[in-house]
Amino acid sequence: MSRDTRYYPEPEEFRPERHLGGEASGKVLPSSFIFGFGRRVCPGQAFASASVWLAIAHIIALFDVRKPVDSAGREVTPPAEFVSGYTRCASRERICS
């Protein structure tokens, strides 16, 4: 459902703003289906949500998260390239520089 073009135009594009304000109004939000439905709902939903919140809080508290800089010291916006699989992550070439 999250990749259905009837609900989300350009579903493969990373556009988090689609879930804010007017663009998402009247559409199905991922939070309503990501953990399943009815009898098949994920029993660890509350634990997973709390774990993600804690992980993000730790990253923000412990790391200096910012854009990389080029050799001239200017900020560079890296392309949004992700590797799909069991989990979704940034390309290995961009993680550490």
Residues annotated in a binding site for heme: 42
Nearest to 12 by CA among 20, 25, 2: 2
Binding site as annotated, residues = 42
The amino acid at residue 21 is: G
Q: Take residue 23 and report the two structure tokens written for it.
A: 């663009």
Q: How far apart are the first and last CA of the chain?
A: 36
